[in-house]
Structure 1
Amino acid sequence: MSQLQPPILQSELNFAAIYDNAKNYKNFEEVYAAVLAHPDLLTKIPDGRNWAIIHQVCFTGDTNQFNQLLALQINNPKFRLLSKTNDNKSVLDIAREASKDKPTTLFQRIERLKNLDELLRNAECGNWSFCKQLLQSQPDLANEKPPYHHFYFLHHLACMGERLVFDELSRLCHFDFTISVDNETASNLAAAGGFRDFVKAIDRLSQILPTTPRRDELSTGRNASSRDQKGSIDTERNPTPPSRRGDQVNSTQASLPYFHFDQITLERDQYNNHIIKSDILAFTSTSERSLDSTTSRDRASGARDNSRSTISDNNAYYKNICKNIQCISSENLLRLIICPITGQLLQNPVTATDGFVYERENISKWLLTNNRSPTTNMEIKDKDLKPNTVIEQIIAAIKWQSQVKHEDFQSTSSVIRSPNRK
């Protein structure tokens, strides 16, 4: 009988143990799982300590682990990259101290994230003079974003309808008009806000500037845009744009999910468990699914007692994981189990070095012809992919719970449809 790995995500959090794992550079999967369920733990300083988990991971110098934890902050409006330790150090300070002889990869990464942070936070409040000054020295920042921000710089301009600012900055920057948020381009967002002159300005520049290969070539499971056949905008599918100048809106507080999933949604059952609601998900019985985990030798020998034991053990295993993920919002959880490239449910989840989780086949194809992240458009130098056991366990458990719910519904429906017996 094949053995299931112990659940990594635990409902009863031992913050002290998680913190020590980060400090001692061990059991990163447990650290990742804890921050996945409780994103605010990344910058929380435990009692009696001086540093938070983010500072400890930074001190280890592991850029990949650092990126993975940042990717989990997409829906945490309280997150600040340069949050201070009790001895008044930020991750940039810690990385700089480790780069005295030669700049490390992590230091360069954090320094660029800091600049992107400054650009986007000033764009949120309409401080365009600062944005212009920063883009004069680093124009390529206009087409990138940190993993914990929803919007690119261009999308802030489009949502606010700042055409004059756009005209001025387009002389400094070569904007990539194909990058999208919630599968919507800047042109879509401007049209949804009624800024037709902004749309015309983008269309005009798109015809003049060299074309950029479309970034949705692999998105076979998603619509390329929200325009209907007549070219109108489906405003119900557009993300709520950030407020106009002066409202101090944090882009991580966007009201809609980071990706639209037309065929898959999550809902809660009466026990607060996450259930997949999808027309494309094929359900099989839990007994069949549990039996699949037994070896052919077990089945051939007719070891029914062992099979029953396997079913019981597997059911308890998945039930435990479902309990452990109840604290995660459906919106956040859906984002974790869907491939950002195609919007389809992950089957073979892997983590790329940008920190995000993708379907292996999709990200492998993407990296054959791209050296930038499909999620942040930041450069990817290392194209190594690693299986994500935490996400794999979560998806297996949600599928199991959804199948149980489906079978309960089928059973209830059968009883209702059956004629009354005398």
Structure 2
Amino acid sequence: MSNTLSLQTTCEDAKYFRNFTGILMALSLHPEWLVKIPEGRAWAILHHVVYSGDVNQLEQLLALQKSNTAFRLLAPTSKNETVLDIAKLRPDQKEMLQRIERLVKLDEMLAYAKDCEWDKCYSIIEENPSYGNEKPPYRRFYLIHHIAADNNIDQFQTFKKIQNFKFDFTLRADRKKINVIAREEGSNVFADYIEQEYPSYFDDDEIDDKLYEPSDTALQQTNKINVLMEQHNIFQDSNFISGIAENKKPRKVVDADVEKTQPKPKQASNQNQSGVGYSVGFIQNLLKCSLTGFTVTDPVVAADGFTYERSAIENWFKKSNCSPMTNEKLAHKNLNPNLIVQQILNSIVRE
């Protein structure tokens, strides 16, 4: 198990497009590894995944960054290449390039919004109005939450004038409505305004709220897991089971197609070896449904890369074709079992 969860080994697997189950396990426990470059290497795991062209794998790894506030999509390689540069190396993988370009633009817009550079945000949304109600999977706030946090009614009204753009008032951050976020940020003037102007969105909506409520089974599971975990102060890598190797098209074949030789300069070590401990809170957060916030009983991964309780996301799909975490339209509604989370749940129960 120690080999499976070393940064060097995980990066090696990513480089050769193999053992994604092992990579997913490692990044579930060490999300910060996604952009760390191991000693003697040129690229981090993120760069290799982008180079592979596998958008589904990228989405799952980006979803794990929701708890990593230090994550930066454009983290450079040792030669200052970004994921956008790497995606452009693969003209045969247009879907990956399109995904990276969209993420970069959303990141840019929300970075401007965080800094209250509203004119720059305005230009981006005017160019593509859909950006105004979307966010990358690793960001907490949508545009409207940043406007709310700034207590800026004037800017809210300015954005409303953009042709073909309309704010989505159902958007939530941490399962909280816009008015709640505004009050938490000390923006009571904005909260009062939006509640008065759009009361239908902020009155008690039992149907909408139920989408975020856990089932009785999930509540029981949460209580059970919490009791079991109270017996531990810390969990080790060795508590968990590694995945099975999954080989894809060989890296050397892709390299030959791209005609690119990867350099491997020496640099300071960022390696974080396994055997590290994880707090109870960290593991509990890992086991939560992204929609309800409670421990999963039947964990599944949707097209957005996030893990949900199966029944919760199936209920969501009855009203929406978009991700509840990014508000982007999902490529499909297929749900795959999250074997990593299930393994961790099983290991806790066995303790």
- Higher RCO (C-alpha under 8 Å, 6+ residues apart): 2
Structure 2 distance, partners of 1:148, 1:82, is: 13
Name the structure 1 match of 2:328. Answer: 378
Deviations 1:241-260 (A, max 9, x none): xxxxxxxxxxxxxxxxxxxx
RMSD (Å), alpha carbons = 3.2
Name the structure 2 match of 1:184. Answer: 176
Cα–Cα, structure 1 residues 67 and 180, in superposed 2: closer, same or farther, change >3 Å?
same
Cα–Cα, structure 1 residues 86 and 213, in superposed 2: closer, same or farther, change >3 Å?
farther
Name the structure 1 match of 2:341. Answer: 391
What one-letter code is carried by the residue in structure 2 that aligns with 1:221?
P
Cα–Cα, structure 1 residues 56 and 185, in superposed 2: closer, same or farther, change >3 Å?
same
Structure 1 runs (4+) greater than 6 angstroms displaced: 211-214
Q: 1:111 aligns with which of 101, 119, 123?
A: 101
| Contact 2:238–2:275, Cα closer than 8 Å, also in 1 | no
Structure 2 distance, partners of 1:76, 1:266, is: 23
Structure 2 distance, partners of 1:396, 1:75, is: 23
Deviations 1:238-287 (A, max 9, x none): xxxxxxxxxxxxxxxxxxxxxxxxx769597575236xxxxxxxxxxxxx
Unaligned runs of 5+ in 2: 216-221, 242-273
SS in 1 for 2:88: helix
| Contact 1:220–1:342, Cα closer than 8 Å, also in 2 | yes
Name the structure 2 match of 1:295. Answer: none
| TM-score normalised by structure 1 residue count | 0.65
SS in 2 for 1:73: helix
| Contact 2:214–2:312, Cα closer than 8 Å, also in 1 | no
Name the structure 2 match of 1:147. Answer: 137
Residues 202-221 of structure 1 mapped to structure 2, 5 A cutoff: 202-206=194-198, 216-221=209-214
Q: CA deviation at 1:328?
A: 3.3
Residues 327-406 of structure 1 mapped to structure 2, 5 A cutoff: 327-401=277-351
| Contact 2:17–2:49, Cα closer than 8 Å, also in 1 | yes
Q: CA deviation at 1:54?
A: 0.5
The number of residues matched between the two structures is 307
Q: CA deviation at 1:86?
A: 2.0
Q: CA deviation at 1:348?
A: 1.2
| TM-score normalised by structure 2 residue count | 0.77
Residues 246-325 of structure 1 mapped to structure 2, 5 A cutoff: 272-273=233-234, 320-321=239-240
Deviations 1:291-344 (A, max 9, x none): xxxxxxxxxxxxxxxxxxxxxxxxxxx98339x896334444333212122333
Q: CA deviation at 1:139?
A: 2.1
| Contact 2:321–2:330, Cα closer than 8 Å, also in 1 | yes
Name the structure 1 match of 2:34. Answer: 42
What one-letter code is carried by the residue in structure 2 that aligns with 1:68?
Q
User: Is 1:74 the counterpart of 2:66 in the alignment?
Assistant: yes
Q: CA deviation at 1:162?
A: 1.5
SS in 1 for 2:303: coil
User: Is 1:124 the counterpart of 2:43 in the alignment?
Assistant: no
Residues 221-240 of structure 1 mapped to structure 2, 5 A cutoff: 221=214
SS in 2 for 1:79: coil
Cα–Cα, structure 1 residues 18 and 213, in superposed 2: closer, same or farther, change >3 Å?
same
Name the structure 2 match of 1:231. Answer: none
Cα–Cα, structure 1 residues 360 and 344, in superposed 2: closer, same or farther, change >3 Å?
same
Cα–Cα, structure 1 residues 120 and 75, in superposed 2: closer, same or farther, change >3 Å?
same
Structure 2 distance, partners of 1:397, 1:72, is: 20
What one-letter code is carried by the residue in structure 2 that aligns with 1:334?
Q
Structure 2 distance, partners of 1:185, 1:37, is: 30
Structure 2 distance, partners of 1:373, 1:23, is: 29
Name the structure 2 match of 1:170. Answer: 160
Name the structure 2 match of 1:311. Answer: none
Structure 1 distance, partners of 2:177, 2:3, is: 39
Cα–Cα, structure 1 residues 117 and 380, in superposed 2: closer, same or farther, change >3 Å?
same
